[in-house]
Amino acid sequence: MITYYDDHSVQVTSTAVRVDGHSYPLTELTSVWHRRGDRSWRVLAGRGAIGAALAGPLVTAVLGIALAVWLQRSAVVTIAIVGASVLAGLAVGPLADFLFEHLDRSYARGSREMEMWAQWRGRPVRLLHTRDAMRFGQVYRAVQRAMEALSSAPARPAPRPGRPATGQNVIGSSGSRPSPRNRP
């Protein structure tokens, strides 16, 4: 048995798709499709807030420089205001890194609800419902690969007693055995 995807609630193998304790044998799935829901305005507003937070220090620095020029004070005062504005902008660097990482994760998760459906025993069944676009893509691709492998695999002869079937995961001479990735 080959494991194509495995996490806390979904497992896709060469024989079945298991979701939240329900098992759907691949031989009983006739078609698989997906649906995208509407955009989440909450996610988009969150991205906009992060963008505004990233632009804030730059705006502050520009306003500080403009203020220094507009006040027309002595060179020492002007340099002090410009220096303070630049330092304020630079001090936000670590915060900007954190905000860019959060923004990047937001795009990886996506802004839509995604659903994966399958025709199982003649009726449609929702296999997966998530807002995490990256996870959805991984699961959907795993199901595609499993179904493609199932449809292109030749029928295997039954193994002789005492001998493993060819292609079966057995312990090799190195003592290693293929295993699914670790769970998060």
pLDDT band at residue 78 under the 50/70/90 scheme: confident
- Residues 135-147, buried b or exposed e (16+ Cβ, 10 A)? bbebbbebbeebb
pLDDT band at residue 182 under the 50/70/90 scheme: very low
How confident is the model at residue 35, as a pLDDT? 87
What is the residue extent of each domain of the chain?
3-38+112-152, 41-108
Lookup: tokens for 103: 């923004």
Examine the pLDDT at 161 and tell me if it is beyond 90.
no
Examine the pLDDT at 130 and tell me if it is beyond 50.
yes
How confident is the model at residue 61, as a pLDDT? 75
Q: State the Cα–Cα distance between residues 113 and 110, nearest whole angstrom.
A: 8
* Prediction pTM value: 0.57
